[in-house]
Structure 1
Amino acid sequence: MYNINRDINRINKSGADASQIRQQAQEAFNKLPKVSGEGAQLYASTTFQRLVDQAWKEAQSLKDEYISKAHIVLAMLGANGAGLNVFSQKRT
């Protein structure tokens, strides 16, 4: 079972502010386009597909059989996108 408190504690122990990261991630999420209406279908954006592809490469390099949140974070940190910006901002 997933334990978010464990991950929040890890983020805080690293010196980062988990609540600030959560807020920044939510703000970035809120800026994304929304799909609505009957029969609307969602498709992965090119950026998201690249992130998943990179996460899969991270998993394979670690000889893992599936993508975990750790692989996604590694892919985000290696990418030049919003994920990197959230983690790289100056800590206060």
Structure 2
Amino acid sequence: MIYVVVVALALAAGLMLGIRVDGSLRWVGATAAALVLVGLVAGSLVVEVDAWFAGPVFAIVAAVTSVLVAAEARRDEPAFVSETYGRRVLLAMRTRTSTHSADPQ
């Protein structure tokens, strides 16, 4: 049962980290994901559950969800329009944004 809760919280954190928000509210997603992580750690310390794999499961599910959401969110960018979903996933794992120009100067 604890792993179901961990996976649900990891999905929520991954969604918050993967969504691209433009403007001055960029920090909201990262702050919300950090609050989910702090809540998970505090809850596990209070409940004292012997779930040894809760941390790695949370990290893996949150990371994979974040990358998949970022790849889907970037599908309309000019550099990603002609790419397949698998290629967008690989490109979304890169931290910097790719800017391709049709007219190199």
**TM tier, smaller:** under 0.3
Higher radius of gyration, 1 or 2: 2
Higher relative contact order (CA 8 A, sep 6+): 2
Query: What's the TM-score once normalised by structure 1's chain length?
Result: 0.27
